[in-house]
Amino acid sequence: MVSRSPDTGRQRREDDFETLAKPAEAPRPKGPSLKARAVGYLSRREHSRAELARKLRPHAESAEEIEAVLDALQKEGWQSNARFAQSLVHRRAPRQGTARIVQELRQSGVEDADIAEVRDALRATEYERALEVWRRRYGEKPQDRNAYAKQARFLASRGFAHEVIRRILGEGGDD
């Protein structure tokens, strides 16, 4: 059987159709190397090792390849979970409490030793940070139970400790 190709107008034979019907093994699109991708991510902001592994997974042939790249990045000092933790604290601390920041660090795969170090530093300043967040949002002592509950829920949703919330709302924020 002979037919004409709609694109070129040239004649096609039956064996041409067989090659068209068989999908060729699609080569993986070549892009930046895994290391180049990882350095690109790290140039924008600090990432935890787990975050980088998750972002590199679609571009890697194997998990061993990702681990090798991540090991090299850590060895060269380009990736550090401790530095990531400090960066996250610097971004979040003015608006969020210790519990919320610690939870985010755990979700990012930061080791417990690094989290404990950060948690101790955050707890030392939690009252001042919570007071500043409360003053920016409300600034006045709650007049009734509903207002107290609303302000307490707001601070709790930001991750501040209950004893800090009671201290702020009980004192009305007056230092």
- Domains of the chain in start order, with CATH, are 33-79 (1.10.10.10)
Mean pLDDT over 56-69 rounds to 93
Q: What is the Cα–Cα distance from 115 to 105, expressed in whole angstroms?
A: 7
pLDDT at 29: 56
8 A C-beta contact, residue 51 and residue 109: yes
Select the more confidently predicted residue: 10 or 101. Answer: 101
Q: How far is CA 115 from CA 106, 109, 110, in A?
A: 8, 10, 7
Q: What is the pLDDT of residues 45-56, one digit of tens each?
A: 999 999 999 999
pLDDT at 172 over 50: no
Q: How far is CA 32 from CA 38, 39, 70, in A?
A: 10, 10, 16
Q: What is the Cα–Cα distance from 87 to 81, expressed in whole angstroms?
A: 10
**pTM exceeding 0.85:** no
Q: What is the pLDDT of residues 79-134, one digit of tens each?
A: 999 999 999 999 999 999 999 999 999 999 999 998 999 999 999 999 999 999 99
